[in-house]
């Protein structure tokens, strides 16, 4: 629900959130006057804060205390009152550029990147291992398993294999072809497809034009279309991959993580139940495009998982070309320096996209 605020009320909300983020103490009107040199009286500020409280943007933890931002208050602050720090974004890119992207195992390089992001942001950094179902095709082979049955075997650039089994169509007279003839034709088709598809991502396979098949191989056109469409569909749904974590020990020293039970459930989620967290980090690209956002910011109760309902999770996908292959994010308390955290995630996602795409270096495709 959109809340209509005057310019003064927005400024007071902005100042309240910033002061609370800096001090972790409930904010009173006098503190805002002293810190932000507001040109209105403390009474005017108190009235404005009362209005913000009635709107659900602030609350009082105790009757005699100052006010604290609610999840809704942070949401309005993030959506309407701040811009990501361009200066910090430049620093992130500069520091990541010092990593050796052309040497070492993939997980080790990404783990190093996660530690860098945690150090710069001050929060827990999360980077998912690149998707294998969005890998590029390295080699394929059509194999006749028995009369009338053909398997397409695909080797990805990460040296993983996938396969599709289909029924071989009959000729125009309803007869099955000779086994030896089929084997020779399948080899020719394999060579043709390798020349056309090598280096393509799985999601691109269904777009290949089969019109170049000459008349002698028209029988296989529908077969090829079926196989390639089946492989392409596998790229539509991201699959769970491991999440690399940086800065966990340091972030847990923040006052918001002072309760032992809270820390235990959070650590269990991050280290033992990553499959529950993964869908929140790797948000559907369609959802992001519809909302017109580069990053996803989930604040407090907006998180569906109980261990992080008191936290903020900021994430964005990184890409190979136009295809999302992984995600990078930071996790911390709702009392977060959002301008910095959003900038860190945006810059890291952009940088990883360039690294994965090969624009900066030859990124290792797989661990040995």
**What is the percent of the chain with per-residue pLDDT over 90, rounded to a whole number?**
50
Averaged pLDDT for residues 173-191: 79
d(CA 40, CA 30) in angstroms, rounded, equals 11
Instruction: Say whether pTM exceeds 0.95.
Output: no
CB 242 within 8 A of CB 275: no
Quick check: 3 pLDDT over 50? yes
Averaged pLDDT for residues 301-328: 91
Quick check: 361 pLDDT over 50? no
**How high is the pLDDT of residue 19?**
96
Which of 229-233, 253-257, 325-329 shows the lowest per-residue confidence on average (mean pLDDT)? 229-233
Q: For 10-46, write each residue's pLDDT tens digit.
A: 999 999 999 999 999 999 999 999 888 788 889 999 9
Averaged pLDDT for residues 317-342: 92
Which residue, among 202, 186, 195, 189, has the nearest Cα to 154 in the 3D structure? 202
pLDDT confidence of 1, banded at 50, 70, 90? Answer: low
Cα 45 vs. chain centroid, distance in angstroms?
A: 40
Q: For 142-181, write each residue's pLDDT tens digit.
A: 999 888 888 889 887 767 787 888 887 666 555 556 788 8
CA angle 202, 206, 208 (to 5 degrees): 105
Q: For 47-104, write each residue's pLDDT tens digit.
A: 999 999 999 999 998 877 799 999 999 999 999 999 999 999 999 999 998 887 665 5
Location of structure tokens 């008191």: 310
**How high is the pLDDT of residue 344?**
97
Which of 3-7, 63-67, 153-157, 226-230 shows the lowest per-residue confidence on average (mean pLDDT)? 226-230
**How high is the pLDDT of residue 284?**
53
Residues 6+ apart with CB under 8 A from 126: 114, 243, 244, 245, 277, 281, 315, 327, 328, 329, 330, 331
**How high is the pLDDT of residue 254?**
92
The three-state secondary structure class of 257 is helix
């Amino acid at each position: 629900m959109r809340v209509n605020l005057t310019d003064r009320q927005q400024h007071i909300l902005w100042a309240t959130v910033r002061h609370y983020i800096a001090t972790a103490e409930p904010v009173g009107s006098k503190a805002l006057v002293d810190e932000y040199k507001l040109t209105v009286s403390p009474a005017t500020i108190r009235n404005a804060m009362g209005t913000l409280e009635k709107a659900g943007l602030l609350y009082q933890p105790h009757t005699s205390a100052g006010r604290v931002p609610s999840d809704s208050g942070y949401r309005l602050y993030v959506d309407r009152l701040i811009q990501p720090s361009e200066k910090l974004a430049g620093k992130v890119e500069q520091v990541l550029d010092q990593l050796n992207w052309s040497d070492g195992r993939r997980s080790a390089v990404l783990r190093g990147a996660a530690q860098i992001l945690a150090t710069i942001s001050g929060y827990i950094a999360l980077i998912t291992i690149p998707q294998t179902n969005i890998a590029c095709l390295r080699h394929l082979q059509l194999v006749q398993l028995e009369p009338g049955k053909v398997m397409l075997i695909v080797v990805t650039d990460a040296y993983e294999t996938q396969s599709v089994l289909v029924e071989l169509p009959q000729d125009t007279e309803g007869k099955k072809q000779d086994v030896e003839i089929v084997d020779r034709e399948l080899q020719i088709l394999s060579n043709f497809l390798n020349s056309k598809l090598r280096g393509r991502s799985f999601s691109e396979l269904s777009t290949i034009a089969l019109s170049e098949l000459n008349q002698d191989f028209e029988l296989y056109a529908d077969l090829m279309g079926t196989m390639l469409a089946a492989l392409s569909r596998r790229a539509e749904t991201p699959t769970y991959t491991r999440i690399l974590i940086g800065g966990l020990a340091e972030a847990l020293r923040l006052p918001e993580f002072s309760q032992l039970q809270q820390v235990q459930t959070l650590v269990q989620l991050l280290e033992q139940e990553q499959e529950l967290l993964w869908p929140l980090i790797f948000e559907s690209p369609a959802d992001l495009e519809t909302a017109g956002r580069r990053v996803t910011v989930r604040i407090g109760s907006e998180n569906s998982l109980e261990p992080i309902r008191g936290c903020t999770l900021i994430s964005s996908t990184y890409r190979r070309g136009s295809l999302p292959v992984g995600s990078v994010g930071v996790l911390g308390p709702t009392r977060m320096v959002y301008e910095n955290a959003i900038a860190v995630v945006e810059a890291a996602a952009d940088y990883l996209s360039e690294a994965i795409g090969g624009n900066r270096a030859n990124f290792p495709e797989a661990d040995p």
